[in-house]
Amino acid sequence: MRILAVDDDSLLLELMEITLQGAGYVDVDLASSADEALAQIANSVTPYECILLDIQMPGTDGIELCAHIRSLHQYKTTPILMITAMTERSFVERAFAAGANDYVSKPFDPFELVTRLRLAGETVRQNRVVAEKVFALKNLRNAVEEKSRFLPTSPVLIEDVTGVVDQVVLENYVLQLSRGEAFQTAAFAFKIREFDTIYAQSSPSEIYLTLTDVAEAIANQLKQTSFLMAYTGSGVFTCITRRNAACLTDELCQFIQYDIDEMALCYDDGRPCTVTLAMGEPQTKSRLFGGSPTDIITNAIAAVNTAPGPRRMGGLAAVVAGGVQAGAS
């Protein structure tokens, strides 16, 4: 696996290289700044398969560098691990939102680093299998549509919507929270009530575009707060934010529904595509919680499956309400 490690600390870079080589990762390049890293990426004949980034660097920091790398087509799904002493929640949230898959705290434990790299290696292997399938079918569009149809219950990565991450990344984020941070966290979910009908009547690309539109509508109403969101399958979008976030109001689902209605969604043949959103009650943890930290995600999904749809707004009332929501955020 080709690895690029970026850190402005030369001693830590050397230690990282020794650790990786000792674990059998011999194809490792090092960079001491964001500019040097981008130059190596640009000049690399073969794309890197995993990237390790320090957050706190002079000039362009690791989070900005992560976002830049994610904007490159060949690095859309490349595993990116943050190795950093910046454990404050705000930095971690920004890193995941910028496209990071996971992070390891400094001073890093060699065993933990190697373990996470092996998990990243499995992601690389899976991505390679998918890429080979797509390449084999690139001239057969109809066949690609049929082959790429995901199961209705499958999580799907929605790309190019700010704050939206893969389901595994969302779970990794929750698992990394301290007990105190977990107590301050709320999980809530939205569900497309007509998802089964839309799935049955759509091509895979139509379904994906509909999911993207809904994700954009949700993200638009959450943009004034710190959040992460993942599409977790079955028409459900699961969100993580702070339990006291101003956006968590009884009207939130109505505001999002108004944005969706304004999109006038339709199928490829011009038929209107009705999307009605339901929102579940936000789920939180007590200070003495047991079980897995990811239970908060599971509970949010369970809550939305019994939630009612929103009351619809129209005309001037909707415009005024939208303005109130924006101000409240």
Domains, the chain, in order of start with CATH, read 3-136 (3.40.50.2300), 147-328 (3.30.70.270)
CA dihedral 128, 130, 131, 137 (to 10 degrees): 150
Contact between 57 and 33 (Cβ < 8 Å): yes
Global confidence as pTM: 0.63
What region, left, alpha or beta, does residue 200 occupy, with left being phi > 0 and alpha being psi -120 to 50 degrees? alpha
Cα–Cα separations (whole angstroms), residue 100 to 8, 205, 292, 310, 324:
19, 26, 22, 33, 33
**pLDDT value of residue 169:** 93
One digit per residue, the tens of pLDDT, for the chain of length 329 reads: 899 999 999 998 999 899 999 989 999 999 999 999 999 999 999 999 999 999 888 999 999 999 999 999 999 989 899 887 766 678 888 999 999 988 888 877 888 888 888 887 777 677 666 666 656 555 445 544 555 578 899 999 998 899 999 999 999 999 988 888 888 999 999 999 999 999 999 888 889 999 999 999 999 999 989 999 999 999 999 999 999 998 899 899 999 999 999 999 999 889 999 999 999 999 998 766 677 889 999 999 999 998 876 655 554 344 444 444 444 33
